[in-house]
Amino acid sequence: MTFPLPSRRAALRSLGALALAASFGAHAAWPDKPVTLIVPFAAGGTTDILARIVGQKMAETLKQPVIIDNKAGAGGTLGAGLAARAPADGSTFFMATIAHAIAPGLYSHLAYDFTRDLVPVGLVATTPNVLIVNPSIPAKTVPELISYLKANPGKVNFGSAGPGSTEHLAGELFRSMTGTQITHVPYKGGAPMMADLLGGQIQMALETSPSAAPHIRAGKVRALAVTSSKPSPAYPGVPTLSDAGVKGYEMTTWFALMAPKGTPQAVVDAMHAALEGALKDPAVLARFNEQGVTAGDMGPVPLAAFIRSETAKWSRIVKESGAKVD
């Protein structure tokens, strides 16, 4: 039998719906218990903040709690390894970041394969990093900071959320592109790093926007530049690093929801639908805006391609920058 074109399309849609229902199978009642979302950095950092914002909203859709499980360590790779080995039954998900695309280029041995052992669910958010300094640093602009660093080689410490984290590589890129000598001090997350920056134990960081924003607004740290290719509306008057003199510098941090390989596609699709709903919620968007964050707009298929591209790109950049895991 042949269908007229509109009828054929309707039939194909019906068949697709039946196939989706069949694939859900035994998972039709999913989720029938709380869902765990592994966050690979300490509580209070950017990844944790965003996970809690979207997790709370997704819990309303899923009718089950979304439990944030902070597993900090090894620049986010400890949590990634735990997520990769978790049961692929829809009970566990993972909050990945650009740091996980960077890690394969930094670590010679990882307990998991990022592009093979975790499957994408959806892009959560993107945000620039912000070059911030403790007020004890006299520099008010990027050129002034570079001059100060060159006059005080090795005496300024920059912090990160851990070896291989976004902040680590952002700092290494800054060091290599400016010809300065700055010392990397790794932490187990953005929150403890920020505490030491505020206390003056370290003097600078290229921190992700949500962790930095409240302290910039309070005047506790000074923002000199953002790492994105365009100025951020969250920081009026703050230039990009490239425009401030570090030509060609660009880094945009991203956060993505992922699941262990083998998680049923129907569960992945349902979780993506819950995430998509959260990212359209006005209250979530308002909180993202406060944090200087842009909501993600990629589903599983385009996100998979994006992650492969990012992993290849950062492997090349890590090699060119000479960045090392401490």
Contact 264, 90 (CB under 8 A): yes
Per-residue pLDDT reduced to its tens digit, 108-148: 889 999 999 999 999 999 999 999 999 999 999 999 999 99
Q: State yes or no: pLDDT of 13 exceeds 70.
A: no
Q: State yes or no: pLDDT of 152 exceeds 90.
A: yes
Kindly list the distances between the CA atom of residue 80 and the CA atoms of 8, 70, 83, 215, in Å, as whole numbers in the listed order.
44, 11, 5, 29
Quote the pLDDT of residue 326: 53
- State mean pLDDT over 273-298: 94
Q: State yes or no: pLDDT of 101 exceeds 60.
A: yes
In angstroms, the CA 231 to CA 172 distance is 21
Q: How far apart are the first and last CA of the chain?
A: 66
Q: State yes or no: pLDDT of 212 exceeds 80.
A: yes
Per-residue pLDDT reduced to its tens digit, 246-264: 999 988 899 999 999 999 9
Q: State yes or no: pLDDT of 149 exceeds 50.
A: yes
Tokens of residue 253, six digits: 């941090």
Q: State yes or no: pLDDT of 172 exceeds 60.
A: yes
In angstroms, the CA 241 to CA 113 distance is 32
Region of poorest pLDDT, from 20-34, 124-138, 231-245:
20-34
Q: State yes or no: pLDDT of 286 exceeds 90.
A: yes
In angstroms, the CA 204 to CA 317 distance is 22
pTM given for the model: 0.78
Q: Give the DSSP per-residue string, 150-193.
A: HHSTT--EEEESSTTSHHHHHHHHHHHHHT---EEEE-SSHHHH
Task: Specify the DSSP class assigned to residue 240.
Answer: B
Domains delineated in the chain: 33-127+253-321 (3.40.190.150), 128-226 (3.40.190.10)
With vertex at residue 325, the alpha carbon angle to CA 319 and CA 326, rounded to the nearest 5 degrees, is 140
Per-residue pLDDT reduced to its tens digit, 53-91: 999 999 999 999 999 999 998 889 999 999 999 999 999
Q: State yes or no: pLDDT of 307 exceeds 80.
A: yes
Query: 175: Cβ–Cβ under 8 A, 6 or more apart, which residues?
Result: 181, 182
Quote the pLDDT of residue 28: 60
